[in-house]
């Protein structure tokens, strides 16, 4: 269908989805227009759960590569598409297989827990995967004396270690988006909006976490703003989530926390933002780029992901 000679991408996508029995899973950090056409919008944990339990033939992932790879690992018989293969993740790339193997060797006898924001080869070296929604509970579900390696996010790792008091050695990776928030600019915003609550993702640095009113995963932040009685929030995570926050609480005000460099727009994830409606249309039409993973790797990387899913289910997460 065309409008004034232009393709009506939204209608075309809807038609293709139906014809091909496809679903679109979108992460909260996608732009609002993509979130609006998705069959399901969520954070990494919820998206993994959706990827594992659906009867579609094709999963189109509007997110970054490690998420689409996780979907493929959980649903190997399905065709998993990612509209732009350059949609990587600076945090996942901060942990290479070669260096991580050395790190594990240097710290023997520890359970290897890695954040879902890792490449598949790192997942294959792990005992359990976690997301920011379930990391604390997964670690608390282990015997208290169990020693842990946590990778790749140093900020989330420190946050969990402080919360649980567990013996953890932490890989020194970071997300370039969440480490970029300016403490000074956040404090200035708070001064200008004294009634506002500062809500922060645990991937942010300690000084930013210390001035927060609430710390939580992207979906926990969303839930918090729904249930809380404040009217204004300073939001220190990728601002894509504000689309859902406004949807859920239209009368409230959400102010994105500014990055250190006010000219760079780098509080937005440039990888997430590589996905566009047009790319989704082409990807669904051509059924490529497709995520392809060796079956042996799927087997190895699937075990720790399924362990995460089992523990999460047991804990009712
Ligand atoms: S926001 Fe950070 S952790 Fe999330 S995909 Fe982008 S670079 Fe990776």
What is this structure's pTM?
0.92
> How many Å lie between the centroid of ligand 1 and the Cα of residue 7?
31
Say yes or no: CB of residue 175 within 6 Å of ligand 1: yes
> Does the Cβ of 95 fall within 6 Å of ligand 1?
no
- The 3 state secondary structure assigned to 178-231 is CCCECHHHHHHHHHHCCCCEEEECCCCCHHHHHCCCEECCHHHHHHHHHHCCCC
pLDDT of residue 267: 86
pLDDT at 3: 57
How far does the centroid of ligand 1 lie from the alpha carbon of residue 191, in Å?
Answer: 29
pLDDT for the residue 5: 60
Regarding the beta carbon of 238 and ligand 1, being less than 6 Å apart is answered yes
pLDDT at 51: 84
| Cβ of 38 below 6 Å from ligand 1 | no
213 Cβ neighbours under 8 A, 6+ residues apart: 197, 198, 199
| Interval between CA 52 and ligand 1 midpoint (Å) | 22
Distance 178 CA to ligand 1 centre (A): 8
Separation of alpha carbons 282 and 12, rounded Å? 10
> 3: CA distance to ligand 1 center in Å?
35
> Is 271 touching ligand 1 by the criterion CB < 6 Å?
yes
Indicate whether residue 272 lines ligand 1 (CB < 6 A): yes
Mind listing the pLDDT tens digit of every residue in the chain (317 residues)? 555 567 899 999 999 999 999 999 999 999 999 999 999 999 887 888 888 888 999 999 999 999 999 999 999 999 999 999 999 999 999 999 999 999 999 999 999 999 999 999 999 999 999 999 899 999 999 999 999 999 999 999 999 999 999 999 999 999 999 999 999 999 999 999 999 999 999 999 999 999 999 999 999 999 999 999 999 999 999 999 999 999 999 999 999 999 988 777 678 999 999 999 999 999 999 999 999 999 999 999 999 999 999 999 999 88
CA gap 279, 285 in Å, rounded: 10
Contacts of 164-168 spanning 24+ positions with Cβ under 8 A:
164/136, 164/139, 164/140, 166/139, 166/142, 168/139
**How much distance in Å is there from the Cα of 2 to the middle of ligand 1?**
35
DSSP secondary structure, the chain, as one string:
-EETTEE-HHHHHHHHHHHHTEEEEEETTS-HHHHHH-SEEE-HHHHHHHHHS---SEEEEES-HHHHHHHHHH-TTSEEE-S-TT---HHHHTS-HHHHHHHHHHSTT-EEEEESSS-HHHHTT-SEEE-TTTHHHHHHTS-TT--EEEESBHHHHHHHHHHH---EEE--B--TTTT-B-HHHHHHHHHH-TTPEEEE-TTS-HHHHHT-SEE--HHHHHHHHHH---SEEEEES-GGGHHHHHHH-TTSEEEEPPBSSTTS-TTS-TTGGG--HHHHHHHHHHT-SB----HHHHHHHHHHHHHHHHHHHHTT-
Ligand 1, atom 6, lies closest to the CA of 269
- Residue 1: what pLDDT? 59
Contacts of 229 (CB under 8 A, 6+ apart): none
The answer to whether the CB of 89 is under 6 A from ligand 1 is yes
Q: Is any ligand 1 atom within 6 A of the Cβ of residue 91?
A: yes
The CB of 103 under 6 Å from ligand 1? The reply is no
The verdict on the CB of residue 245 being under 6 Å from ligand 1 is no
| C-alpha distance from residue 168 to each of 46, 58, 95, 108 (Å) | 26, 39, 17, 12
Nearest CA to ligand 1 atom 8: 89
The tally of CA atoms less than 13 A away on the side-chain side of residue 249 is: 19
Q: Whose CA is nearest to atom 1 of ligand 1?
A: 269
């Amino acid at each position: 269908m065309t409008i004034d000679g232009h393709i009506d991408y939204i209608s075309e996508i809807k038609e293709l989805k139906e014809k091909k029995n496809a679903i679109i899973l979108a992460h909260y950090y996608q732009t609002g227009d993509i979130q609006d056409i998705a069959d399901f919008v969520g954070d990494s944990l919820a998206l993994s759960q959706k990827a594992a339990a659906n009867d579609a033939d094709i999963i189109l992932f509007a997110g970054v590569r490690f998420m689409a790879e996780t979907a493929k690992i959980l649903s190997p018989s399905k065709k998993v598409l990612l509209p732009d293969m350059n949609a990587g993740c600076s945090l996942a790339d901060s942990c290479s297989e070669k260096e991580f193997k050395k790190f594990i060797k240097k710290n023997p006898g520890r359970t290897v827990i890695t954040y879902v924001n890792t490449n598949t080869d790192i997942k294959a070296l792990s005992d359990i995967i976690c997301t920011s929604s379930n990391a604390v509970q997964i670690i608390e579900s282990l015997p208290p004396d169990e020693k842990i390696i946590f990778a790749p996010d140093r900020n989330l790792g420190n946050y969990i270690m402080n919360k649980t008091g567990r013996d953890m050695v932490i890989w020194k990776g970071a997300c370039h988006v969440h480490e970029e928030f300016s403490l000074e600019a956040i404090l200035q915003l708070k001064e200008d909006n004294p009634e506002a609550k500062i809500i922060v993702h645990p991937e942010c640095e300690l000084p930013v976490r210390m001035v927060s009113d609430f710390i939580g995963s992207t979906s926990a932040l969303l839930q918090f703003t729904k249930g809380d009685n404040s009217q204004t929030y300073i939001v220190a995570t990728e601002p894509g989530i504000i689309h859902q926050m406004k949807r859920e609480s239209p009368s409230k005000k959400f102010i994105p926390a500014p990055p250190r460099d006010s000219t760079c727009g780098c509080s937005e994830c440039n990888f997430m933002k590589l996905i566009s409606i047009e790319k989704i249309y082409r990807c669904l039409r051509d059924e490529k780029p497709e995520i392809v993973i060796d079956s042996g790797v799927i087997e190895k990387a699937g075990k720790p992901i399924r362990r995460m899913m089992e523990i999460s289910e047991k804990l009712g997460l």
